[in-house]
Each structure stands twice: as C-alpha cells, then as structure tokens.
Amino acid sequence: MSLDASHCGFGDRLTPRYGPELRVLIVGGGVTGLTLAALLEQRGFSPTVVERRIGYDHADCVLGLWPAGSRVLKGIGLFRAFLNIGLECARYTVANTAGAVLHSYSLEPLAERYGPLVNVFRPDLIALLQGAIASNRLRLGVKLRDIAETSAGVVALFDDGTNDTFDLIVACDGLRSGIRRLAFGEDPRPQAGMMGWGISCPVSFVPPREITEYWGERKFFGIYPARDRLYAFAGVRADVPSSGPRSDHADWRIARLRGEFQQFGGLVPWVLGQLEEDRVFHRDYFGLRMDTWHRGRVVLVGHAAHAVLGTGGLGTSLAMESAAVFADELCRADSSRIALAFEQYTARRRARVDHVLSWSRRLGRFMFTGNRFVARLRDGAVHLTADERLLVGVERVLSEPL
C-alpha cells in the first residue's frame, strides 16, 4: 500500500465531482456497509460495495437494535419491513449464576418514548438491506488487496486482478478491518474485552419477548429470543485474545464453553445440552477506539473506527448511526474537498461515540467483576435497583442527538 502525502489533496479542482458524481467504494457488505450504500443510493449516488465473503452463512447471529440504530431504517423506508422480521423485546431480566432472578426490568417506558428494542436475525437484516440497493452495486467474494493514492483519486486493487479509481474508500469492514491496516499501518492495541461463544439454539423452545442474562464472576450467559428462533451468547472476560491451535478447534471451543458455565442454572443447562458443532461459533470481542478516523481518501465508519464491547448491545446501532451521519456529510462534499467531509463527520460523531464507549466499559466492569464478594454486592445492587436507575444510561444514549 502506498499513501503519498503529496497526493492526498484532492484531484482536479477545476472540475470537481460532487453528489451522485462521486466515485464511492464501500469495503464491507455487512450491516454498516449496506446501510451506508442504501442511504447513498437513496440520494442518487452509485456506490460500489465489495464483500470478501461469498455469502452470509457465517453470521447467523441475533442482533439487538435499539432505536438509536433502527430509526436509521425509517430514513430508508425499511422500518415496517424490519419490524416484520424482528421481535420487539418487552423485558430485560438479570439473574445470578444459580438462575435466581435478581431483577426484571420493563422496557416499555423506553419503547413508548423512543421506540422498541428489536432482536433480529442478522442474515434477515442483511437481506432486507440488500433489497434496498441495486443488485449490481454489490460484489461478493472480492477482497481489496491494496490501495494507492494518486492525483486523480485512490486506486483500489482487488484480488480478482481488477482495479479501479475512486474519490474515496469507506472502510466498513469491522473490528479487524483490513482497510484500516492498509491505510493506517499496524492495528491499534485493543482494549480489554471478552472471549465469546454464539449459540444457535433449536427452535423447539422459544421463550417470551424477554432478554435474560445470567451474571457470574468474570462471565455472563445471555438468552436472546428473535422471531421464530432462539440465540444465546456466552462471554468470559479476557485481557488478550485467545491463541494457539486449540482455540480454532470445534471440540476445544465446546469443551471450554461447557467447562466455563457448567455451574450456571436457569436455562443455561438446557442450552449447553443442545450444543452442536455447526451451531456454535467462537470469537474474541474487544473494544476499540481509533484516535483518527481518516487518512488520505480513506475513512473508517462503524466498528472499523469504534467497537463497543458487546455488553450494552449498542455496537450495531452506533455503527448504523455513523453510516447515516457520514452519508449526510458526503452529500455536501465534492471530490476536491473530501477531507472536509471526513472532518465534519468526525466532529459530529466523536463526542457521542466516546460517551457510548465509556458507558459500555463501565457496564462491562460492573458485569465482569472478578471478585466473589464484589459480585455478591453487585447482585444485591441489581436486586434493589429500580427500573429507572438501571436504564438511565440507555435513555441518555437514546436521547442524545446524532
């Protein structure tokens, strides 16, 4: 990769391109990239989206979208269809490791004021977003191999041997962004996070519209219902990513999962008894905060710039918000002043993102306390805390402007 600082200015100022004329490459065909593409196409742009995977079978998880993110779908005209594929959650319940309920919080007050928390099967949301863009916009199974800045724009070299020139490249390729590595060099040091297991459960049992999380010492186990399916997620606090050949082996992943949560009660034993190799995936989840979100003609949007530890359920919503704000700023840009659009986007998002990241870290420390005595104090506090006190952090996030 070559980013020549002398060529980061920005094309032929005599004939700048703007609006629909801008040549936009979006790298990453997940929720963030497709949301951005749909928003831009709605405004007359013709973005190109490349996704290195051929399909989305690897991502059969359930996402929780707070109205902070789902309201973006209203702007694309997809909100009603979204409600038809999602499940509105009515309650959030916290239990201890034995399965005893510490507190069950109603989500109705938040839903009445801001909108519902909706759990949705990720492939269903992907399909919905794909339907909002022209089929020729999305190139599956294509990986961006290298980039090079020139006076005419940024040249993208793909692994299929093709190349093209764009006015800007938007990295929507997630926490482990390859484009961030090309543009910024080494990946930043991740913040403390967790080792996680996602579990697709049999549909023989679908609980009510209630999220249930079992909190232990340095770990938690969550049950997340969606429409016609049940999903579980287990997390264990980790300061560094897991490594070694065993971490990639299915038998090791399942054995480690069972070992970590064998003492848990409630619905956890039932879930652990239903484990199948092809229904369990393992991944490390770490928070990420980039100090700089753009370099040259490359800009980071969503998890490539800011990754929220998955204890607050706000990561996807926050990424969709960032996509909406960036689309808004790009509408006022031209090819000679792309850097200004990047700066305005960063200025609008930085304070809100920093607040959510800080809130997520505080919640993570509260959930993942590693001391048995402190964990008992935490459980007692949850038991005694009124609904309004626990949800005040979420309400502040929902009430803030984008």
Q: Is residue 396 part of a domain?
A: no
Q: Is residue 395 part of a domain?
A: no
- The reply to whether 122 and 246 lie within a common domain is no
- The reply to whether 65 and 160 lie within a common domain is yes
- The reply to whether 135 and 278 lie within a common domain is no
- The reply to whether 360 and 333 lie within a common domain is yes
- The reply to whether 155 and 292 lie within a common domain is yes
**Whole-angstrom Cα distance, residue 120 to residue 139?**
24
Residue 43 CA: distances (Å) to CA of 32, 46, 345: 17, 9, 17
Strands (E), 66-192: 86-89, 91-95, 101-106, 117-121, 138-140, 144-150, 153-158, 163-166, 168-171
Q: Is residue 106 part of a domain?
A: no
Q: Which two tokens stand for residue 205?
A: 């049992």
**Whole-angstrom Cα distance, residue 2 to residue 15?**
25
Question: Where residue 245 falls among pLDDT bands split at 50, 70, 90?
Answer: very low
For residue 276, the SS3 value is coil
pLDDT digits over 283-296, tens only? Answer: 888 888 899 999 99
pLDDT digits over 162-216, tens only? Answer: 999 999 999 999 988 999 999 998 777 666 678 899 999 877 766 689 999 999 9
pTM strictly above 0.75? yes
pLDDT digits over 337-383, tens only? Answer: 999 999 999 999 999 999 988 888 888 888 888 788 888 899 998 88
- The reply to whether 250 and 174 lie within a common domain is no
Q: Is residue 144 part of a domain?
A: yes
Q: Is residue 397 part of a domain?
A: no
- The reply to whether 357 and 253 lie within a common domain is no
- The reply to whether 341 and 381 lie within a common domain is no
Q: Is residue 398 part of a domain?
A: no
- The reply to whether 205 and 292 lie within a common domain is no
- The reply to whether 207 and 226 lie within a common domain is yes
pLDDT of 246 > 80? The answer is no
DSSP track, 36-89: HHHHHHHTT---EEEESSS-SGGG--EEEE-HHHHHHHHHHT-HHHHHHHEEEE
Q: What are phi and psi of 233, to 5 degrees?
A: -140, 130
**Whole-angstrom Cα distance, residue 155 to residue 242?**
36
- The reply to whether 256 and 300 lie within a common domain is no
Q: Is residue 151 part of a domain?
A: yes
- Average pLDDT of span 36-44: 96
**Whole-angstrom Cα distance, residue 179 to residue 194?**
24
Within a 10 A sphere around the Cβ of 5, how many other Cβ atoms?
9
Number of folded domains that form the chain: 2
Q: Which two tokens stand for residue 198?
A: 């996602």
**% helix / strand / coil in the chain, to the nearest 5?**
40, 25, 35
Q: Is residue 99 part of a domain?
A: no
Range of the domain at 213: 197-285+368-390
- The reply to whether 155 and 77 lie within a common domain is yes
CATH number at 357 reads: 3.50.50.60
Question: Where residue 388 falls among pLDDT bands split at 50, 70, 90?
Answer: low
Higher pLDDT, 247 or 385: 385
